[in-house]
A = this chain, B = another copy of it.
Amino acid sequence: MKRTHRQLSEGILMTDQYQLTMAQLYFRQGLHTMPAQFEYFYRNNPSYGSHQAGYTILAGTGSLFEWMAEERFSENEIAYLRQQTGRCGTPLFHRDFLDWLLLEGNFEQIRVQGLQEGRVAHPTVPLLTVMGPFAMAQILETPLLNHMNFQTLIATKAARMRQTAGGQPILEFGLRRAQGYGGNTGVRGALIGGVEASSNVGVSHALGFDPKGTHAHSMVQAFSALGGGELGAFRAYAEIYPDDCLLLVDTINTLESGIPNAIRVFEELRRKGHTPVGIRLDSGDLAYLALKAAQALNSAGFTETTIVLSNQLDEMVIWQILSQIRSEAPRLGMAPEAIIKRLVFGVGTALITSQGAAALDGVYKLTAVKDSGQWQPAIKISETAGKTINPGAKQIWRLYDRRDKAVCDVLAMEDERLDEVSELQLHHPVDFNVQRTLKREELSRVERLCIDLPRHGPDSPLEDSIAQMRLRRDQDLERLDDGVKRMVNPHIYHVSLTRKLWELKQKLVRERSFIANQ
């Protein structure tokens, strides 16, 4: 697309048509500035086929806030809306509505409360609560979901890879097979969730990270076609990057050609006083080749050089590689942990597209509107019980047991203070028969989870840094039960309602069913 078209499609018109037709209706009904409240939550943790997540890592709010701060209806957008006609050829959007949009079509009056980025999140828990004028809060639905769903999805996948990689660094390499420009926003989620850095040049610089990368097979191919061969290619590379020399060794034959040639060039570098960085393996049995590479490098005295592994890695493949190294290394007379410590994982498609679960099912639901100064809870009754939303303005609390492990997230009414009661009566969100009572003394801590996320100041997502998000992630993961963190069949983390909220929900369901049956 042309740059102007890209800008148009990433601006305030990055929304669904029905948000605009509804906004015009609210405008006509005089409801457009009525305070409304929407909640963002998702229903299911990502399931990747044979394995699944027991939690997610929340990400996207900072990007969303930056987008909200800059995007608004201008003459350019209004001109497009003005030309759109209905079936009978008359303009779909009327002049008074468009005039209002041009004047007031921005997100300045929107307030957001929620979890901070990097925190561990769970299904059905309202992660963001949006309050503001009905029309603009409605238009925000699509861009909010687009930002939050995707970055949370990728942050979660990255966290899982980090978990199986056992602390070894992970680099993101996925732009070539990413879903279009999503390859850029995805990198932000990946950095929050678990990767050290990315090969993506533009977005890395935009986010203040150094992009990573050395050379591809094509360099070796070109030298081979011109008669210089792999060794010539490696020497040329070492000459220009003597202190950053990491060589890709599998273009011709990893064990017969790539590794011996790399060692020859490393020895030349060493003689000149440089320390070579390492090698990259991009095909074949990566665990076995990593062991053989380490053996050869050790023999030549390069006991510290990095071994980068890439080629269709995901969390399960990384896990398998480490298991295989642990079982095969002793047979080759090597200490597995010494080899594992040298590994870096380059992950591509599986991370940036969240292979196996390409979308998070997050939704944005109206929970209340303010009429004559009173909040009126809104509810949507689904024929699927689990999809009936929890009504009204809420606060979320996280309960920690005596080991300081999180045991439960509790949805409460906004005026309930769970940190001040001696006993908590908790209800399953759907099943009336499932309830339990927790005594305060069984808990080490009751944490208010959602905070105001202001536009400015230290708590604003705009001021937040990826370093802080990573810290939150590590703290929350540390406090999450190992069972919930399992890669396959994780324990289900509990999410409950307080009795008060549960009773409101039942009351509204009864009333609405009554109306529907009249």
Contacts and interface: CB of A to CB of B under 8 A. Distances in A.
Interface of A: 1-3, 5-11, 13-22, 24-26, 28-29, 31, 36, 38, 49, 63, 66-67, 70, 80, 84, 86-88, 90, 92, 134, 138, 141-142, 145-147, 149-151, 173, 175-186, 188, 199-207, 210-219, 221-222, 224-226, 229, 236-237, 239-241, 243-244, 250-254, 256-257, 277, 283-284, 349, 353-355, 358-362, 364-366, 368-369, 371, 376-384, 387, 512, 515-517
Given A16-B201, A201-B20, A222 B369 contact: yes
- Residue among A25, A88, A364 having the largest count of chain B Cβ atoms under 10 Å: A25
Contacts of A353: 179, 353, 358-359
B382 A178 contact: no
Residue with the greatest number of chain B CB neighbours at <10 A, chosen from A17, A179, A221, A515: A179
A361 B174 CA distance: 11
A377 B221 CA distance: 9
Contacts of A180: 146-147, 150-151, 179, 181-182, 184-186
A230 B211 CA distance: 53
A145 B183 CA distance: 12
A136 to B, nearest CB: 13
Given A22-B215, A221-B378, A8 B240 contact: no
Contacts of A517: 256
A150 B176 contact: no
B202 A13 contact: yes
Contacts of A15: 175, 200-202
B177 A361 contact: yes
A21 B226 contact: no
A14 B176 contact: no
A277 B206 contact: no
A221 B16 contact: no
B134 A146 contact: no
A219 B251 contact: no
Nearest to A382: B283
A328 to B, nearest CB: 19
Nearest to A183: B146
A178 B184 contact: no
Contacts of A10: 6, 181, 184, 202
Contact of A366 (B141, B145, B221, B381): B221
A429 to B, nearest CB: 18
